[in-house]
Amino acid sequence: MKHVVIVGGGFAGLNVAKTLGNHPELRVTLLDKHNFHLFQPLLYQVAMAALNAGEIAYPLRMILSKYKNITVLKGVVKTVDPFRKTIVTDFGEITYDTLVMACGTKHHYFGHNEWEEYAPGLKTIAQAAEIRRRVMDAYENAERSVDPEEKRKLLTFVIVGGGPTGVELAGSIGEMSRHYLSKYFKNIDPTQVRIFIAHSAPRILHTFSPELSAKATEALARLGVEVLSSCKVTGINEHGVEIGEQRIEATTVLWAAGVRATSIGKTIGFETDRSGRIIVGADLSVPGHPDVFAGGDQAHFKLPGGATLPGLASVALQEGEAIGRNILNEIIGKPRIPFIYRDKGQMATIGKNTAIAERGNVRLSGLPAWIIWLSVHIYYLSGAKHRLFVLLQWGCSFFTFGHGARIVNKEWRFYPTVPEKAEPAEKEE
């Protein structure tokens, strides 16, 4: 039997595995450093205490249990020797006939890894838990503070990056400040809360049309979020953020500005782009290594016009399936099929009842977009129980604004216990 090894149980890796599931001629091993699949698009809801971590993480073993030919192994892949067809992991070596790399991305602090301590990013459950702790602690400390300067700093939140994650975080903090603070905190005036999005491009959500981007900016303004566009963050420390000469004193700074592919592609010696993504050919295999594929956020796939695909779940899902189909084609002696991406559009939510959605020339905002956003996220969430729980949680908070997950405790340990660090700083090109 041919041995297919898949590294990464995210959207791409999982879809490769499902496509190969129960094939009589294949033995499949899926390796991931976690034993769960994480639904990253709802991670900000864990960070903002709207959902619990267990509601968006699903054990890989359970998802794949119905496939007799698939084994799930928890472990970290350190490197790969493509000439010996061997993977080096933290628990030993594994040989393969076909390899699929789908390790996703990590945060990128543009050569300033020292900022990570003061501005955590949002990519893992541990990071979501840390963000939740910082936001909740800021409210708790502001409630008891008698120093107006200190209170102002505690009630100032800066989100660096105006993409969908930055917007979702800022919108949630705005909503929480308006509704939660006024109800439960007696010494905080919600209008004192200041939320900034510091964004380097002229407008936030710049992959959306200017019209939708403007609507999102207006919706954010209604929640008290101020967008600072075309600005470059030059410093972040325990006192706040520096934007050139301007300084914003803030206790809570969150990073939603940059990601780059995990460095493993470079470590192996594959050709990578500036973001560390492995360059793949039309069939999603690595040039010169037809038995190695890369997909999802870790792959750099060029469209016929020259543009590359964005880091989206729908891209990872489609690439995962296409890789799986090409592996199956090979077994039956059929040629590989070039990958064709079908644009499913993009969405971002700003708060309760408000989202933007765009597909081709169809542009929606407000409640209709929010209903689509909600339906799509529930549909793609793994496990019927998770879907039901999330729907129930959302239903309750929709009518009451009372989120059940707003408890924080420094001593609690989330899995993994230590938040992952950003890639080592690299000299900017």
Query: Which residues in this chain contact ligand FAD in the complex, by CB under 6 A?
Result: 7-13, 31-34, 40-41, 43-44, 76-77, 102-104, 122-123, 164-165, 262, 264, 296-298, 311-314, 316
Q: What tokens does 221 get?
A: 């303004």
Complex with ligand FAD: residue 142 or 317, whichever CB lies closer? 317
CA distances from 253 to 33, 173, 198, 376 (A): 28, 12, 10, 30
Q: Whole-number minimum distance, CB 120 to ligand FAD, in Å? A: 12
Q: Is residue 423 flagged as an active site residue?
A: no
Q: Give the torsion sign (CA, 101, 122, 312, 230).
A: negative
Complex with ligand FAD: residue 31 or 51, whichever CB lies closer? 31
Q: Whole-number minimum distance, CB 20 to ligand FAD, in Å? A: 15
- Is the distance from CB of 137 to CB of 230 less than 8 angstroms? no
Residue 252: beta bridge partners?
157
CA distances from 350 to 135, 168, 198, 272 (A): 18, 5, 16, 34
Complex with ligand FAD: residue 123 or 215, whichever CB lies closer? 123
Residue 294: beta bridge partners?
101
The DSSP letter of residue 155 is T
Contacts of 1 (CB under 8 A, 6+ apart): 25, 26, 27
Complex with ligand FAD: residue 162 or 311, whichever CB lies closer? 311
Q: What tokens does 170 get?
A: 């800022």
Number of H helices, E strands in the chain: 12, 25
Nearest by Cα to 156 from 172, 174, 144, 179:
174
Complex with ligand FAD: residue 154 or 264, whichever CB lies closer? 264
Q: Which of 55, 130, 168, 175 is catalytic?
A: 168
Q: Catalytic residues, which ones? A: 168
